[in-house]
Amino acid sequence: KNEVEQSPQNLTAQEGEFITINCSYSVGISALHWLQQHPGGGIVSLFMLSSGKKKHGRLIATINIQEKHSSLHITASHPRDSAVYICAVTGNQFYFGTGTSLTVIP
Amino acid sequence: SQTIHQWPATLVQPVGSPLSLECTVEGTSNPNLYWYRQAAGRGLQLLFYSIGIDQISSEVPQNLSASRPQDRQFILSSKKLLLSDSGFYLCAWSLISRDTQYFGPGTRLTVL
């Protein structure tokens, strides 16, 4: 069993839809990260959070420490949001989810 | 501002050949440095991390080694590449351990 599980693995949405990607983890953590990997391979860090909620533009990340769960929301999705979204946690070690591949269709 | 460089961008190497991938960071001092690998269809795997010059920890046993000869230079090496070493190699840095990490553009390695 992986320490970090993401769902869904693949997601296709129509432009404008509200998108939610989920991340559950089973280890104690000091922080949770959401990363975005573009088709070319480059990775960008979107959020680092240890409690509550953070918002950046159309992206919102939430975390529930008690339930060991985080969600990444994208409002008014756009084709340029198409990417792989990776959840990672840092505790005693680094643990990564296998990613959610998002395709937004115009 | 801080920037991170990796080279080469792509590399095709025969099995048994040596490897040297270089990563440099500009605009910061004493960063934490990381090497990751992403095999085809797989998630990110942390290979090495370093909190200072000559202070390197290995996360998984493998055919690879890492060195940090200077504060902002991190090198990933192998004496003899295996087919299973193919993948996308990413270097990253952070100000402190477990903080937000900033990734380089990556090197796509194909071992034939």
CA distance A45 to chain B (A): 7
Residues of A in contact with B101 (CB under 8 A): 33, 45
Q: What residue in A sits closest to B91 (Cα-Cα)?
A: A43
Reported as a single tens digit per residue, the pLDDT across B1-49 is 889 999 999 999 999 999 999 999 999 999 999 999 988 777 888 899 9
Reported as a single tens digit per residue, the pLDDT across A35-60 is 999 888 888 999 999 999 999 999 99
Looking at the predicted structure, is the pLDDT value of residue B106 above 80?
Answer: yes
Q: What is the distance between the alpha carbons of residues A36 and A55, in angstroms, rounded to a whole number?
A: 15
Which residue from B88, B92, B69, B94 is spatially nearest to B11, judged by alpha carbons?
Answer: B88
Looking at the predicted structure, is the pLDDT value of residue A88 above 70?
Answer: yes
Q: How far is CA B48 from CA A18, A57, A99, B1, B99, in A?
A: 37, 33, 21, 25, 16
